[in-house]
Structure 1
Amino acid sequence: MITPSLTLERFKAIKTYFYENDSTDAYKEAFNEDVVVIDDMKQYTGINEILAWRREAYRRYSHTTTPIQVDISGDKITVIALVVGNFSGSPINLQFEFYIQNEKIIKLEIKA
């Protein structure tokens, strides 16, 4: 296991995803304009959809997400995070697969 805070320092965009949840400006800096996020078998495309998805998820589940493990393999950075909130199965470890280009997130897939 790698200490997330140390490893995520190398990836400002991923660190922003986990620690700047309510900052629209920070998200616009972290995500590519045509970013794709896949979560719960639904696809969200573009920064505006991503922001709406994040706001709705926080409103609905009142959850926290804590990175606990980081794995770097080629162009994929996988973060295992403990997610605790108001949903069935909480707490749960989820896998966040990030793809970065030019220091911005171009794709994120969240898996159980």
Structure 2
Amino acid sequence: MELPQLVAQFVETQNTYDSEAYKECFTETAIVHDEGKVHTGKEEIRAWIEDANDRYKSVMKPLQYDESGSNGVLTAEVSGTFPGSPIVLKFHLGLKNDLIDSLKVTG
């Protein structure tokens, strides 16, 4: 599957557990909604993904990507050390200046 460069980088940094490179996919003021919590700004996002990587060791296998204007939805099979693995999740991306400005993860 051909993904836009930013989305491919987002997936690659997740799958290699590179929290520093992962945070660079986001704007300075980006907001992430996941597991009922909100994480704002690059440093909070880095801390969140580092903790999630340590706990879940999750990897993404992209299944579909749709983009309309400044919004994208990545559907991916996510597997890791969490109950119910693997599961299919949707990553709702708000895009701004070739970076992710918002991310909401849904089941």
TM-score by length of 2: 0.89
| Equivalent of 2:95 in 68, 89, 100 | 100
Q: Which amino acid aligns with 2:6?
A: A
CA contact (8 A) 1:68 1:82 kept: yes
What is the root-mean-square deviation in Å for CA atoms of aligned residues? 1.4
Q: Count how many residue pairs are aligned between Structure 1 and Structure 2.
A: 104
Identity %: 38
Counterpart CA distance in 1 for 2:87 and 2:49 is 18
Match of 1:14 in 2: 7
What is the aligned partner in structure 2 of residue 75 from structure 1? 70
Q: 1: distance between equivalents of 2:58 and 2:23?
A: 22
Q: Which runs of 5+ in 2 are unaligned?
A: none
Offset of residue 28 of structure 1:
4.6
Asked if 2 retains the 8 angstrom alpha-carbon contact of 1:13 and 1:31, the reply is no
1:89 is matched with 84
State yes or no: 1:32 paired with 2:30. Answer: no
SS of equivalent to 2:67: strand
The structure-2 alpha-carbon separation of the partners of 1:84 and 1:28, relative to structure 1 and needing over 3 Å to count, comes to closer
Is 1:43 the counterpart of 2:38 in the alignment? yes
Instruction: Measure how far apart 1:44 and its partner are.
Output: 0.3
Structure 1 unaligned segments of length 5 or more: list them. none
Q: Runs (4+) of structure 1 moved beyond 6 Å?
A: none
SS of corresponding position for 1:48: helix
